[in-house]
Amino acid sequence: MTKVGDTISAGNSNWSFGGDVSEKFDEHVERSVPLYHEGHDLIARTCDFFLSDGSVCYELGCSTASLTRKIAERQQNKTVRLVGVDIEPGMIDFARSKCSQLNNVELIASDILDLELDKADVIICYYTLQFMRPHSRQIVFDRIYESLNWGGAFFCFEKVRAPDARFQDIMSALYVEYKMAQGYDADEILGKARSLKGVLEPFSTAGNLELMKRAGFVDIMTIFKYVSFEGFLAIK
């Protein structure tokens, strides 16, 4: 096991969100993903255009439910049902403690592939699908499209690969420098990269767009971009 930062350890090609990671997750992801909270704010504000009385909003892969909680607090003046889903029971237990004062939030420990979705006006995947096996992703995109009401919104934020090798080299170097600026040392950065082999599998911008289009989405735009981190808004 190797230190990957924020007192988290992981083995080669063996990163996991289980165990005690939930207790350290918020601090770790805030330092690892550029503009992490700004992305939350952007989605929460954009949800105003799609959520109304009686709406359902899912966050698939909600981890500790920071984003679900932010949306729920913003939508207190409406009867909106917020549902956070995560495969790791420890994440859901931690999320329940964070959302215990919110009666409009429901938290479920489940694999996305096993979950039957109700009709919804918003579905969010915030740096989630990149951790799913590539052969399963089209299934998830298809289910999301089918579960959305007409005019509903799908927010898909992902780490993305560059369109060619030269740009990928630039993006990778910039991200290493970003992590160093956050206080991670070289051994932690290398340890995290080794732990994510075969676990984190980003697609390119074009690859993600193709998945959405094959699912049925036509109206798609990028609403967030920071080097290799991109957020899409697709409307059914």
Percent of the chain with pLDDT over 70: 91
> What domains are defined for the chain?
33-161+202-235 (3.40.50.150)
Q: Are 155 and 211 in contact (CB under 8 A)?
A: no
At residue 11, the pLDDT reads 61
- 81 and 56 Cβ atoms separated by less than 8 Å: yes
**Model confidence pLDDT, tens digit, residues 194-217:** 888 888 899 999 999 999 999 999
What are 161's strand-pairing partners?
Answer: 204
14-23, 33-42, 148-157: range with lowest mean pLDDT: 14-23
Which of the four pLDDT bands, split at 50, 70 and 90, describes residue 2? Answer: low
Rounded alpha-carbon distances, angstroms, from residue 80 to 107, 129, 231: 14, 25, 23
The string of pLDDT tens digits covering residues 81-96 is 999 999 999 999 999 9
CA separation for the pair 161, 229 (Å, rounded)? 9
Single pTM value for the model: 0.94
In this predicted structure, the answer to whether residue 7 has a pLDDT above a threshold of 70 is no
Confidence of residue 144 (pLDDT cuts 50, 70, 90): very high
Distance between CA atoms of residues 9 and 3, nearest Å: 4
Give the separation between CA 97 and CA 226, rounded to whole angstroms.
31
User: What pLDDT, on the 0 to 100 scale, is given for residue 199?
Assistant: 82
| CA-based end-to-end distance of the chain | 44
Distance CA 15, CA 17 (A): 7
**Spatial separation of the C-alpha atoms in residues 4 and 15, rounded to whole Å:** 10
Whole-Å CA distances, 143 to 83, 112, 148: 16, 10, 9
Residue tagged 């697609």 (tokens): 203
Residue 84 CA, chain-centre distance (Å), reads 11
pLDDT at 84: 97
Whether 63 has a pLDDT exceeding 80, the answer reads yes
User: In the predicted model, what is the mean pLDDT of the chain?
Assistant: 91
Find the mean pLDDT for residues 7-23.
62
Nearest CA-CA partner of 70 in 93, 37, 26, 94: 37
